[in-house]
Structure 1
């Protein structure tokens, strides 16, 4: 067992070093030479990885995944193992982050270990913590300051357009999010409908969603906690609605990126309301919105029909009203209490708002109002 682990560790270390040193031959040296399909896929993977510019890259064995059918297929020395890929993209990731892979190895006659498959374990890996942009097909990576855009290999014009929009959105969120934001924006716009945590094959996402922020993990699900410790987010664009994405769309998603480190327990109205609030603010290269008119529209069209702030469980059942009402609530907090109070409220809700009682306690502490009280305050302001 120890010799096997050491042998596979040697292969993994060699592959990471090969990417850092731009050595394709070393990267492919321990891939099954008789599997032309796997070789071609690994060659493509190497070319993709080289484009991202990793400041740090390593691979670590996590746990064996025994499967008798794999032993029957590859032979008695078969070793299937979950692997953590730890990386930090230069100028993008504030800390090293992790994604999960599944590799199958067999031992050669000379005692060295050989990669025979990188897909056998895919169905067992945690949803959203694998299938990265570099795994799916040939890509093109374009960079701007604090921006990285990933598109299909021949989509140069799309990459240029998205990079300009992303740069504008990063600047806008950095300028207007209370306390500032110093992070970076990653935008993935591939033809594939399932990338990272985004699944645009689902009917609820396929038609309407423009983009979504998908979590990047400091520790993987199951390592420290069931859901993993989240460090950041990358934005994945719906290939069906790619032409509709503008700088304001990306500002919305980058607000989710900026707030991802806070935690996951904030109410949906605060999460989406904050992102929509940022989306609607003045932005370079985007037409200014008539916010006074929009505020009046929400107050007259949506607020009278509502009985409360949109709850987490039903938020997306009627997005056409949930988003405006959430924007109105955040707009009220911002105007009445200020941006600093909004951010501290968000941070505490995201960290501790696991129950309605906790959320109400935090709301009263910061605003002197429960969620129900905030809704009544919106009604009163509209009247």
Structure 2
């Protein structure tokens, strides 16, 4: 399952299995003048060794970068090592941010922020850069810096959404036909069902939106985890409460600190509570999220009613019309619709009904103008373009007229 490891970092003395006995070792850290220069170099040597060990699956080298005084650290890092060993890693490298090195008062220990660049082969368009904060402790001979902690709770509280599931606890990874599934002990028994739904769903979604959506990679990563830690890290990054969502599509930025660099990939989250649903229900949810993931950045900035309505429209296409269930609140919400919904409606208590209204607006567009107009409209509204102008140019009607016609078609179809 593992892809080729195309980018390999080497220690200053390549081929060594430890951090010791190297004729070109840096001198011990100094604590006068500008002490952080040598300290930073030693830290970088350590994280370089860590990167090599993770890519080469060399547990001996990996453990030699750690301070063994803390057995809890060793256990947690073994879990991390085992998690990454399951991933198809193409690029993995660390960089110590030397301007963040801080001496712990009354000790020889140092905190420093570290950037990890990690690229999954076939799933990320570019390495994903994330920050962490490590504590480094000098070795007994003072010639090396060892990692003594990878956890700073106060710092992490100020940097939410900075972690992936494999950073948080033990995971099980499965891969099939361009789908990478990340599960835990609670959800692992559903892995086959999820991967089957994902593999089949991709073909169904492509049949509507096409293959060429400007995505440089075709693989899709899906998470399904019982532990809420990862999901809660997405707070304030989603529309509505992520805990209430059955599924989410997550844009993973190349660098969270530099949004202009764009997304490296679009990954999916499936709430474990949906895994016990009938295959037809799970399949519909998977196709909805796959629509977002496979469209990627296409239509970014277009209104929510179109993005979500299109995803709902695509999700039901393989289903017989009689099986396309409508939420119970949809007709009552539709009866109040004077215009197309906005962010407030999608984040409110009647969100489920507004999803349905948006779906049937898209059904109306496809039936009255042709399915191709849905994607044309998505492209015209990308980047926050003026909605009124785009609707007039593409459809020749107002947003209010479009909402009313979509609701009328929904009511005619279901109110029997």
Please say whether Structure 1 and Structure 2 have the same fold, judged by a TM-score greater than 0.5.
yes
1:183 pairs, out of 209, 218, 226, with: 218
State the 1:96 CA deviation.
2.9
Matches within 5 A, 1:327-346: 327-346=359-378
Q: Deviation digits for residues 74-132 of structure 1, max 9, x if unmatched?
A: 82441321x3322221222233333332222233342322212111131122x32x221
- Aligned to 1:60, which of 70, 77, 95? 95
Structure having the larger proportion of residues in helix: 1
1:6 aligns with one of 26, 41, 55 = 41
Distance 1:275 1:250 in 2: 10
1:264, distance to aligned residue in structure 2 (A):
4.2
CA–CA separation in structure 2 for the residues paired with 1:58 and 1:23: 15
2:86 maps to 51
| 1:219-238 equivalences in 2 (<5 Å) | 219-220=255-256, 222-225=257-260, 229-238=262-271
Q: Verify the 8 A CA contact 2:364 2:406 in the aligned structure 1.
A: yes
Q: Aligned residue for 1:93?
A: 124
Q: Alignment partner of 1:262: what SS?
A: coil
Q: 1:194 aligns with which of 223, 226, 229?
A: 229
2:361·2:407 contact (CA, 8 Å) conserved in 1? Answer: no
Paired positions, count? 362
Partner of residue 267, structure 1: 303
> Structure 1: where are the runs of 5+ without partners?
none
Going from structure 1 to structure 2, the CA distance change for 1:314 and 1:299 (only over 3 Å counts) comes to closer
**1:25 and 2:53 equivalent?**
no
Displacement of 1:153 in angstroms is 4.6
Once the two structures are superposed, the pairs formed by residues 107-126 of structure 1 within 5 Å of their partners are 107-108=138-139, 109-120=141-152, 121-125=155-159
Per-residue deviation, 1:138: 1.6
Is this contact kept in 2: 1:232–1:261, CA < 8 A?
no
SS in 1 for 2:166: helix
Name the counterpart of 1:277. Answer: 313
Q: Which residue of 1 aligns with 2:335?
A: 304
- TM-score, normalized by length of structure 2? 0.77
Change (3 A) 1:96 1:361: farther
Residue 205 of structure 2, aligned match among 167, 173, 181: 173
1:374 paired residue number:
402
Rounded to whole Å, the distance in 2 between the matches of 1:25 and 1:4 is: 24
5+ long unaligned stretches in structure 2: 1-35
Give the counterpart of 1:324 among 352, 356, 365. Answer: 356
Q: Do the aligned residues in 2 keep the contact of 1:84 with 1:98 (CA within 8 Å)?
A: yes
Of 268, 273, 276, which aligns to 1:243?
276
* Residues 105 and 299 of structure 1: CA distance in aligned 2, closer, same or farther (over 3 Å): closer
Cα offset for 1:46?
0.6
Q: Write the mapping of 1:152-163 to structure 2, written as runs, cut at 5 A.
A: 152-153=184-185, 156-163=188-195
**Contact between 2:330 and 2:353, CA under 8 Å: does it hold in 1?**
no
Contact (CA 8 Å) 2:186, 2:226: kept in 1 or not?
A: no
2:299 and 2:307 in contact (8 A); partners too: no
In the TM superposition, what is the alpha-carbon distance from 1:275 to its structure 2 partner?
1.1
Q: Is 1:361 matched with 2:394?
A: no
CA pair 378-238 structure 1, distance change in 2 beyond 3 A: closer
Name the CA distance, whole Å, in 1 between partners of 2:408 and 2:345.
24
Residue 136 of structure 1, CA deviation:
1.9
2:98 matches 1:71: no
Q: Give the direction of change, closer, same or farther, for the CA distance of 1:263–1:177 in structure 2 (3 Å limit).
A: closer
SS in structure 2 at match of 1:235: strand
Q: CA 1:364 to 1:183, structure 2 compared with 1: closer, same or farther past 3 Å?
A: farther
TM-score (norm 1): 0.83
Deviation track 1:155-190 (CA, whole Å, cap 9, x = no partner) reads 543212211121122222122224556723222112
Q: Deviations over 1:327-352 (max 9, x none)?
A: 01122223334344322432343323
CA shift at 1:302, angstroms?
4.6
Shift of 1:280: 0.7
In structure 2, what is the Cα distance between the partners aligned to 1:194 and 1:369? 45
Aligned to 2:302, the other structure's residue is in SS state coil
2:368, 2:62 → 1: CA distance?
58
Q: Name the CA shift for 1:344/1:194 in 2 (closer, same or farther; >3 Å).
A: farther
Q: Is the 8 A contact 1:277 1:327 kept in 2?
A: yes
